[in-house]
Amino acid sequence: MPSNAIIRYTSSSSLAIHTYDVFLSFRGEDTRNNFTGFLFQALHAKGIDAFKDDEDLKKGESIAPELLQAIQGSRVFIVVFSKNYASSTWCLRELAEICNCVHTSPRRVIPVFYDVDPSVVRKQSECYEKAFEEHEKRLREDGVKMEETQRWREALTEVANLSGWDIRNKPQYVLIDEIVQDIINILGPKISRLPKDELVVGWMA
């Protein structure tokens, strides 16, 4: 496939163009070089245009414009929860933005529990509780209000309550195959293989 080509998936009832088919939210140090990396490769092998953030985009306190655009322009979100996910303010800000997008324009969010129990994420207990203690201590020292941490907690609970996948129950390769097939079913059949510049021109017109 040419480097400037992109496959678009859509259901028969919608022809909306999105920047990405799938956005992957994950803690890099936990899963970038294993599960999430393998999942990203498997999605692309099936022609699914997935976004996996670059660490260079994670600088400063605010979500980088490129990252924000990728979130807002994605059709499906896969959130890979791991033990250190909640220790990253970047991951938590991503998740809060994902929830904002889903509330304003309904889209699918699929949680994957990598090495953490769903109840730990849902209730912010154990390692997630410790992570929030650190966040709240730092924010208090900086004189910042606690509203943001409350939004993070609400986002974690909301997504952890959704139907998803627990990687502890199956071999990784089996689970990855099932997730990819689930994404294909959600996105529907391939309808185009158009250069990105043509897609932009068509959208602007």
Q: What is the pLDDT along the chain (205 residues), one digit of tens a residue?
A: 333 333 333 333 343 457 899 999 999 999 999 999 999 999 999 999 999 986 545 555 566 788 999 999 999 999 999 999 999 999 999 999 999 999 999 899 999 999 999 999 999 999 999 999 999 998 887 766 788 899 999 999 999 999 999 998 899 999 999 999 999 999 987 544 333 443 333 333 3
Give the C-alpha separation, 190 to 147, whole Å: 42
Q: Tell me the C-alpha to C-alpha distance, in Å, between residue 115 and each of 19, 30, 96, 169.
A: 30, 9, 21, 11
Cα–Cα distance, 89 to 79 (Å, whole number): 15
**Which domains can be identified in the chain, with CATH numbers?**
12-191 (3.40.50.10140)
CA-to-CA dists, residue 132 to 26, 30, 59, angstroms: 17, 18, 20
Distances (CA, A) of 164 to 117, 142, 145, 159, 178: 12, 36, 32, 9, 11
Write out the catalytic residue numbers.
94
